[in-house]
Every structure is written in structure tokens, then in C-alpha cells.
Structure 1
């Protein structure tokens, strides 16, 4: 028996005769409930479709209590505030500007401080939305790692008028509203396999968060980072690069695609990965870049033996490709 939870879209599978809230607990979801504290009706949901039995009465529509409702067939319910395992609540908050630093390559490093009090919880590799002066939202990877607590670091490319205007607005106001955390290309806990991290341009921000989290938590398996740009001048000063170079399990690669006289490594990022690593099925792989770059890299890695379930990118969610 399956129950689809809205608005999250999560689908849970129930055991025979199992109540909805018991299935949610068994599967590790976090859901509104306070029965054990004597507060009834907190677990209420709305039955959209299907049939349930509640205290011996069959229901096909309207409010139900997940603590006593037993589905009689596949159902769909509206139940606000339900979080899947490792899913964190999205919050909107005002952050204080700490610093805006020019790091080269038309990139600025923006440091924000979240409000004191209840900390913002996020997983390494997630992203946030910055609120523009017109109320529109723009997405940026969080380059900091969760252990940095109130500090949020962003790497912002300043090649569009709208983005330059946003950064100037933050500089003038010394504050900005953010919505976070978002994205499922992240590490709630340390991985069980070595990592390959492939970043184009400011996609390095997401990989910085993953790397700093792993190092902080004592990860000892190999981490291969591939950072690619079109021209050497597009590389910017990565704040932890020298520290990473000193780590025995971190392997750094800079790749330039469109400058033939570049003395370093040239070509496509996917080519560099395939040249270096013989058995890609042994790795968890994280990709960050434009949708065309991510899908081209995905196809090349799969052809070289990578496992699809072990390749992760936010592009797969916000720009899904029709297969």
C-alpha cells in the first residue's frame, strides 16, 4: 500500500494494517506529531484521494488523523511540514554582510553571517537563494561547510548586469535576505566510497563545501577534484586550495578547455577524469556546472563505466533531461 504525501511528493510504502504515522516513523521521516505530549490533532492531514479506515469508519475525503488512519488502498494526502530522512526545513532569514572580496576571474567571495539564535542547518553541498531588490530570487552554492556555523560563503561571478547589481545592493545595504537550504546534491554524512568532484567555474563553491566537510569529519578515502575553466584567467583564488594541496588524500586538477598555449592540463573535464581513474564504478561522483556541461560529463562517465546511481548533480533536479 502506497501513500503519496503532498506538497512534498514523497511516496511511502505501508505494511499491511499499518497506520500512516507509524509508517512515517519507521521510514525515518520527520512529521508534525505531539500525541505523546497530550497534544492531539497535530498530525492531522487532508485526504485527497483513496480510501482510509479511521476508528472503523471509511473515509474518502476530508480531514484525517494520521495516528489512527489505515489506508485501504493507495492514497494521496496533503500533510504539511513532513521532512524525508536527511531533509532539512527551508528557512527565510536576513543575513549581515561580513565582507565582499575580489578573488580574480571576475569572481567575488561574499561572506554573510546568519542571525544569532537558532542556527541555519544545512548539508555540505546545498545551495541558497538570494533575494534581489525586485524580490526575485537567485541561486548560489554555499561554499562554506556546516561546521562554520553562522558564516555563509558564496562565490559569485560578476559577468551579468543583474548579478553585479545584486552584489552592489548587498554592499550598500550590508544585509540580504536568503532562503535556505535547498538542493539534494549534498552530503548529510560521510560517503562510503572515494569521491570525484567535477566543477566548472564557480561550481568550485559546491565542491569546497563538500571537501571541507569531509576533511573536518576525518574522511580518509581519496578525493579527486577537477576544476575546469575556458581560459586560465577564469581561475580565481580558491581560499582553501593551498590547504587542500597539503592533504594526503586530496588530489587537485586544474583543466583549461579553450586556450591551446596553456602550459597545464588541457581538454574537457570528463576526459581528464577518464584518463586518471580506471574504475569509475568505485567512486561517488559530484558534478557542478551548466546543464550542457553536466549532461555531457554524465554521458562520458557512464560510457567509461561509472554507475548512474553514484553520480549526483543539482542539475538533475532543476533541469531534468528527457531520456
Structure 2
């Protein structure tokens, strides 16, 4: 039977005489459950459409328990707390500010430490939200990788007034209240093929997380990292950069777009990618930057032969193109 879950929109295909909970877990979903016999009520769900059999009784509406209910036809079910494969629940953490200092290019490296016994769960490439005094939460990519445990790293550009206020808040209070993880441009599973990572400015934070995760997991396919800034002085130190230079399958490219008075490469990021990689068909592409930069890169790479589905970016979710 075909069961559509709300509010997630996930669709499950159940087997004959299989309970909804068993089907969801067989398909890789993480579900609220405990006793598995309908007594604890943890797996309670609401039947919106269709019918189920529970303890020999057929129900076509109302509450039921996913651990003992078998769908009898296609159903629509309201079931909160169900997480798809690779999806993690968002939680709040009160973190100690271990470091908050400028490292170059007006960029501040912020290191946070989550409470003992509560290492945050996240995938490489995801982001968090920081609570700000008198303002909405601010989103920042995690530069750290999951194997870092309690220690989290952010790269914050300290030029806009709102960012400067947040940095001052972190320095003065020594505590950061964060909510995480968010974002689907991550590496819950390593791809079977080459990676192309494209970052503008502090979008490099997300790419640091991806590279460090690949390094920790022994990823063997080629990884091409393109980091673009407007001026050479906008490049800031990346702690593991020298170690990255020793990796045989990691190719590092720095590109300056506006002021090219330096010994390195000049131009736009997508131009550098197309120049180096004429065949884009097998690549898995991740991009991080402003919406304008990400969509311009997408259009250019699609025109050069890439399928649009090969590229992932958080921009696609928070700033969808009409």
C-alpha cells in the first residue's frame, strides 16, 4: 500500500500485513517508537485518508498506533517526528565560545564547544542558526566536520553591522545559543564519483567541512576545490590547508574575480571549472555563496553540459528562483 506521511510529504510503500512502523524502519526512516505493542502511545499518528487494521479492528479515521496498525489501502497519515534516511533532528545547544578572533580578510574564526555529553549530530556541509540579541537567528555554515564531536567552527565575515553586533555579543557573553543542523547540501553519504566544490568568500566554511569529512572517511575519488574572492587579500587562512596540499586526490584552486594584481588565477569560478573540467557529466557539484553567484554558476555549468540535478546548494532551498 502507498502511505503518504504529513507534514514531511514522504511516501512509503508497505508490504502485505506489514505495520506502518515496520515499513518505515525497513525503508530507512527514523521513527518515534518505544514499546512496539501500542501501549506507550509514542508512535501515535492521525489517519487523514484511507483505512488501517489495528488489533483486528478496521479504522478509517482518527488516531492509531503505527507499531500495530496495518494499512489496508492507500493512506494519508499525519505522523510527526519521522525522519528520512540521513535526516537529523534539529536541537538547541548552549555552547561555550572558545575562540572569536579575526584571522584575515575581515573574517572571524569562531570556535564553539557544545556541552559535555551532548555532541551535536550533523552531516558535513550543514549549517546552524545562532540566536542574536534583539534580532532573528543568523545562519552560518559549519566549517567543522562531524568527527569533531563537541567542537564546532564558523567563519563570519565582520563587515556588515549585523555581523559585527553578533561578533561583539559572542565576545562579551562567551556563550552562543545555537540550533542545528539545517541544510540538505551535505554529505550524509559519500558519492561514487568525483566531487567539485565551489565556494565564494566565507562559503569556504561549508567546503572545509566537506573536505575534512572526505579526508576522515578516506574518500578516494578526485576532489576539485575552487575558492573565489574579489581581491587577493580576501583570502583568509584555512587551518588544514597545508595538509590538504599533500593529499594526492585533492586539487586546490584560488580564483580572484575583480582585482587581479596577483600571481594567481583570475576570472569567474565557473570559468575556471569549465577550463579545467571539460566533461562535467559524472561530477557531483556543491556550491556555496550568494544566490546570484550560485545561480550564475548553475546556468553556466548546465550550458557546459552538466545536468542541473548534479549540483547541490542551500541557496536552492532558502532563495528559490521563480
TM-score class, shorter-chain normalisation, is over 0.9
Following superposition, the deviation at residue 58 of structure 1 comes to 3.8
Q: Distance in 2 between matches of 1:17 and 1:291?
A: 48
The aligned residue for residue 301 of structure 1 is: 301
Contact 2:199 2:207 (C-alpha < 8 Å) held by counterparts: yes
Q: How many residues align?
A: 322
- Structure 2 counterpart of 1:192: 192
What CA distance in whole angstroms lies between the structure 1 residues aligned with 2:105 and 2:37?
Answer: 56
Aligned CA RMSD, in angstroms, stands at 1.9
Q: Is structure 2 residue 158 aligned with structure 1 residue 155?
A: no
Alpha-carbon distance in 2 for matches of 1:290, 1:16: 48
TM-superposed CA distance for 1:35, in Å, is 3.1
| Deviates most, 89-98 or 260-269 | 260-269
Name the CA distance, whole Å, in 1 between partners of 2:217 and 2:263.
Answer: 35
How far apart in 2 are the matches of 1:197 and 1:123?
A: 16
Paired position in structure 1 for 2:30: 30
The 5-angstrom pairing of residues 158-237 of structure 1 reads 158-237=158-237
More deviation, 279-288/60-69: 60-69
1:72 CA displacement: 4.1
Q: Distance in 2 between matches of 1:107 and 1:28?
A: 40
* Alignment partner of 1:41 is 2:41: yes
Structure 2 counterpart of 1:245:
245
Q: What is the TM-score of this pair, normalised by structure 1?
A: 0.93
Once the two structures are TM-superposed, the CA of residue 316 in structure 1 deviates from its matched residue by 1.6
**Is there any run of 5+ residues in structure 1 with no aligned partner, and where?**
none
Which piece of structure 1 moves more, 232-241 or 140-149?
232-241
- Does residue 1:271 correspond to 2:271, yes or no? yes
CA contact (8 A) 2:31 2:83 kept: yes
Deviates more, 1:291-300 or 1:108-117: 291-300
User: How much does 1:17 deviate?
Assistant: 4.8
In the alignment, is the contact (CA less than 8 A) between 2:232 and 2:262 conserved in 1? yes
Moved more, 4-13 or 264-273: 4-13
Q: TM-score, normalised by structure 2?
A: 0.94
Is the 8 Å Cα contact of residues 200 and 228 (structure 2) preserved in structure 1? yes
Instruction: Deviation per CA, 1:9-46: give whole Å up to 9, x if none.
Output: 32223345543112201101010122358854222111
Separation in 1 of the partners of 2:38 and 2:20? 19
Q: Give the corresponding residue for 2:142.
A: 142
Whole-angstrom distance in 1 between the partners of 2:245 and 2:73: 57
Change (3 A) 1:37 1:99: farther
Structure 2 unaligned regions, length at least 5: none
